[in-house]
Structure 1
Amino acid sequence: MKKTTAIKGRNLIGAQVRRIRLSLEPKVTLEDMAGRLAARGVFLDRSAIGRIENNERYVLDYEAVAFADALGVGIADLF
């Protein structure tokens, strides 16, 4: 599989994903987030989610939709 790298600043939702994830009660861990995404058919490990939150990995459109759903927010809330 070809490895791709993101251009810094091209990931628009990572910081919001982290902010919302950590604002939930109880706090949602990266492992919990991976489980929530897997339940929605998106399989990302803790490392991949961390890279997204740190703006080191791009986010595909269907992943953004799954993040919003898993966090219980609208897609616009991630931007």
Structure 2
Amino acid sequence: MKKRKLPLGDRNMIGARVTEAREKQGMKQVELLSKLQTAGIDISIPALSLLEGQKRPVSDLELNALADILNVSVDWLLGRE
């Protein structure tokens, strides 16, 4: 598994949690991207990478879809366990 080359950004709170949940499920970014697109969230691989790197804001629609796809709560993604 590749390690992140750049430090995390400060554009969202959930990127690191998305990565954690995705990797815990053994899911690759392209698989998550495919599931997001099936759910009506059309983002590119670079945009997903920026989201996980916390260098891009996340919309409420994306947040909800990510929680559903990754089988976690929105509160967990936001660090509100």
Same fold (TM over 0.5): yes
Q: Which runs of 4+ in 1 moved over 4 A?
A: none
Unaligned runs of 5+ in 1: 1-7
Q: If the length of structure 2 is used for normalisation, what is the TM-score?
A: 0.80
Instruction: Work out the number of aligned pairs and report it.
Output: 70
CA offsets, 1:28-61, max 9 Å, x none?
A: 1111011110111101121111100101110011
SS in 1 for 2:12: coil
Matches within 5 A, 1:22-41: 22-24=23-25, 27-41=26-40
SS where residue 57 of structure 1 aligns?
Answer: coil
Structure 2 portions without partners, runs of 5+: 1-8
Q: Is the 8 A contact 1:37 1:43 kept in 2?
A: yes
Map of 2:3 onto structure 1: none
Q: Distance in 1 between matches of 2:54 and 2:38?
A: 24
| In 1, Cα distance between equivalents of 2:71 and 2:54 | 21
1:56 is matched with which residue?
55
Cα drift, residue 72 of structure 1 = 1.2
TM-score by length of 1: 0.82
Q: CA RMSD in A?
A: 1.0
